[in-house]
Amino acid sequence: MEVTNVCEYEELAKQKLPKMVYDYYSAGAEDQWTLKENREAFSRILFRPRVLIDVTKIDMMTTVLDFKISMPIMIAPSAMQKMAHPDGELATARAAASAGTIMTLSSWATSSVEEVNATGPGIRFFQLYVYKDRNIVRQLVRRAEKAGFKAIALTVDTPRLGRREIDIKNRFTLPPHLTLKNFENLDLGKMDKANDSGLAAYVASQVDQSLSWKDVQWLQTITSLPILCKGIMTAEDTQKAIECGAAGIIVSNHGARQLDYSPATITCLEEVVKEANGRVPVFLDGGVRRGTDVFKALALGASGIFIGRPVLYGLAVDGEAGIKNVLKMLRNELEMTMALSGCTSLKDITRDHVLTESDRIRRSLSRL
């Protein structure tokens, strides 16, 4: 069967992966309301297309933190990718480089920063949790810098892991033949005593619940890499992030895996963009499955979007080729949406090209 859209990869991945692995990748927290809402919120945003515009040539190139990329579609950090395919993060790195876009490597990857760097040239960011032992953070950041990573995506929404009930039912553990490669060859203190599967659980338990804004500032004292705050959802936290020196913001609810009944990220985007007011770029992840979703995020002020689960599903089904196809389909759909909306470049995409639920309510009230 020919795969014609990104969503079809999920069903194929479900058939192929062990249940415990598929559930780990696909599940959200608790009732999974936010997981559904991340998708459904996009469907409530409609288009206001412009016509009779020459769209013979469409330019999707953009710049992220001074790095030129082929399109505003990037890869979000996803943990433990070798559960999906033996090549894991290495396939993801090659696919991203081939597509001319950015890959973000999870610090809980099953491939190390050095192994990813060895796949060849590419623009890569490193996702970071802050641990109780700051020496571990220093070592991870140093390794990422040495391996040529260009930015740190600091996860700020995880003082503790959300309650993912499917993982509890499945008694999820990292398969014994895999390990968290970025923690190898570090001075881990007590972590040294854990076996590989136990290491994953122990690392998760060491995420620092006291993480605060002062740690965003501290991180800038140990690295010159730009820091993106990943997990911002409000104007208040946007202002705080900018005050603390963040180079950018990723509007994210952690793929709906943390606080259930948080709004969809696309619903929060405009509030964050308005507060940022051009001082730093704002990106979005969560729920993007179509090129139309990408266009909607750009119209509401995002500088680009990150995809997570679609990459995992493409990887599970067809390795590197699957990820390349996911990126190609989203690129082609975005190009089509731009053409049919009368936009020949990303700067042509404006707020006037979309109609949100709030817009429609305001229009209805104005007629009363």
Q: For 43-52, how does the pLDDT look when each residue is reduced to its tens digit (9 = 90+)? A: 999 999 999 9
User: CA-CA distance, 118 to 143, in Å (whole number)?
Assistant: 13
Binding-site residue set for FMN? 77-79, 106, 127, 155, 230, 252, 285-289, 308-309
The dihedral over CA atoms of 159, 194, 190, 170, expressed in degrees to the nearest 10, equals: 20
**Strand pairing report for 124-128 and 227-232:** unpaired
Residues forming beta bridges with residue 228, ordered by sequence position: 153, 248
User: CA-CA distance, 155 to 108, in Å (whole number)?
Assistant: 12
The type of residue at 207 is V
Instruction: Tell me 347's DSSP state.
Output: G
Whether pLDDT at 279 is above 50: yes
More confident residue, 41 or 176: 41
Sorting pLDDT into bands at 50, 70 and 90, what band is 193? very low
Residue 363: the pLDDT is 83
Please, are residues 75 and 92 in contact by the beta-carbon 8 Å criterion?
Answer: yes
Catalytic residue flag (residue 353)? no
Residue 196: the pLDDT is 47
The predicted model gives 120-140 an average pLDDT of: 95
Q: Is the model's pTM score more than 0.85? A: yes
Please, are residues 340 and 104 in contact by the beta-carbon 8 Å criterion?
Answer: no
Please, are residues 269 and 240 in contact by the beta-carbon 8 Å criterion?
Answer: no
The predicted model gives 96-115 an average pLDDT of: 97
Whether pLDDT at 227 is above 50: yes
Q: Say which residues have a Cβ less than 8 Å from residue 142's Cβ, sequence separation at least 6.
A: none
User: CA-CA distance, 201 to 196, in Å (whole number)?
Assistant: 9
Q: Which of 55, 92, 13, 30 minimizes the C-alpha distance to 345?
A: 55
Binding-site residue set? 24, 77-79, 106, 127, 129, 155, 164, 230, 252, 254, 257, 285-289, 308-309
Residue 189: the pLDDT is 58
pLDDT tens-digit series, residues 280-306: 999 999 999 999 999 999 999 999 999
CA dist list (Å): 216 to 21, 77, 133, 153, 170: 32, 19, 15, 11, 35
The predicted model gives 312-340 an average pLDDT of: 98
Please, are residues 238 and 228 in contact by the beta-carbon 8 Å criterion?
Answer: no
Counting other chains too, the contacts that 210-217 makes at CB distance below 8 Å and 24 or more residues apart are: 210/159, 211/130, 211/156, 211/159, 213/240, 213/243, 213/244, 215/130, 216/154, 216/156, 216/241, 216/244, 216/245, 216/246, 217/244, 217/245
CA dist list (Å): 290 to 32, 43, 93, 105: 21, 11, 21, 23
Sorting pLDDT into bands at 50, 70 and 90, what band is 185? confident
The predicted model gives 162-180 an average pLDDT of: 90
Binding-site residue set for glyoxylate? 24, 129, 164, 254, 257
Residue 186: the pLDDT is 78
User: CA-CA distance, 33 to 262, in Å (whole number)?
Assistant: 8
- Single out the catalytic residue among 85, 177, 254, 353: 254
**Strand pairing report for 62-64 and 67-69:** antiparallel
∠ CA(338), CA(342), CA(348), 5° rounding? Answer: 75
